[in-house]
Amino acid sequence: MSEPAHDDTTAPAATGDAQSAGVLFVNDTGELPLDTRRVLVQLLSGPSLEGRRHPRLWPVLLRDEQVIRRRLAELFLELVLDRDLQVAFTSQVAADELDIPILLRRAQLTFIDSVLLLFLRQRLTQADSHGERAVVARDEMTENLMPYERAASTDRAGFSKRVNASIEKLKKHNILQKLRASDDRFEISPTLKLLFSAEEIIALTALYDRMAAGELPTLARQPLDGNEDEDEDKDEGS
C-alpha cells in the first residue's frame, strides 16, 4: 500500500519489452529498468499510484505505459489510468468465459462504508468546483453518518465503533490520507472519482436519502477493489 522503500532514480530513455535493462541483482532475468520495475511493484502492492504522492514514479508510468499494460495483462490485470487526476491503479480483468485466477482481493463494503464513500465523493466534487483541496475532519464524517444510525444499528456505542472502523478501512485503502500534524483531518484521494460514476452517485444518493427518512431497504454489500485478503467486516456482523 505504500511507496517502495527506495526512491526511484532519474528515468532513463523510453523502454520496451525487448530492451534489456542490464542485470540488477544476482540471477536477474528481467528486462525492464529499475524505475519501471518500481512502478509495477507500486501498482501491484496498491492501492494506487498518484502523481502527487509518487512524483518520480508517475512520469515513468506515463513513459512506459504500454510496457506496463502488457506486463499486467499477463497477470490478468488491467491498468486504470487518469492523466488529468494523475491517478492509476490495477483492476482485475473481467472475462467470464475464462477461468481466471484472482490476484486482487476485494474488500466488502458494509452499509456504513458505502454511505461514507458517497459523502466523501460528494465532498471531493464540491472541493473541485471551488478549486480547493478535499479535506475532511473525523467529526464531519461521523456527523454526516448520524442520520443513518437507525438503519445500521440501534446501539449508539456500536454505531460509533462501526463509523471508526469504516474510517480506518478507507485509510488502509488510501482513500483517506491523514494530514501531517493532525490525527483527525484527512485529504480525500482523487482515486475516489474513478470508483463512482455519475449514475451511481445519483442512484446511491436517492437510496440513502430514503433510508435517512426512515425507509430501510436491504442494502447488499458492495466490493472495493484492493490488495487485502483479510476479512475486514468481522466486527460488523458479516
CATH number at residue 199: 1.10.10
Same domain, 190 and 72: no
**Local confidence band at 104 (pLDDT 50, 70, 90 cut-offs):** low
Same domain, 59 and 8: yes
Same domain, 88 and 55: yes
**Local confidence band at 122 (pLDDT 50, 70, 90 cut-offs):** confident
Q: For the segment 36-87, what is each residue's pLDDT rounded down to a tens digit? A: 999 999 998 878 899 988 999 999 999 999 999 999 999 999 999 999 889 8
**Local confidence band at 1 (pLDDT 50, 70, 90 cut-offs):** very low
Same domain, 218 and 116: yes
User: What's the order of all strands across the beta sheet hosting 87-92?
Assistant: 49-50, 87-92, 77-82
Which of 83, 176, 103, 106 lies closest to 135, judged by CA? Answer: 176
Same domain, 95 and 182: no
Which is more confidently placed, 93 or 83?
83
**Local confidence band at 144 (pLDDT 50, 70, 90 cut-offs):** confident
No. of helices (H) and no. of strands (E), the chain = 8, 8
Q: For the segment 156-212, what is each residue's pLDDT rounded down to a tens digit? A: 778 888 889 999 989 888 889 889 888 889 999 888 887 766 666 677 777 666 666
Same domain, 208 and 188: yes
**Local confidence band at 17 (pLDDT 50, 70, 90 cut-offs):** very low
Please state the domain count of the chain.
2
pLDDT for the residue numbered 43: 92
Q: Which of 6-10, 99-103, 155-159 has the highest mean pLDDT?
A: 155-159
Q: Is the pLDDT of residue 221 over 60?
A: no
Same domain, 111 and 47: no
Residues 185, 179: Cα–Cα separation, whole Å:
6
Q: What residues contact 72, with CB distance under 8 A and at least 6 apart?
A: 40, 43, 78, 79, 90
pTM: 0.61
46: left (phi over 0), alpha (psi -120 to 50) or beta: left
Q: Which of 73, 101, 129 is the last residue of a domain?
A: 101
Instruction: Give the residue numbers spanning the domain of 44.
Output: 1-101
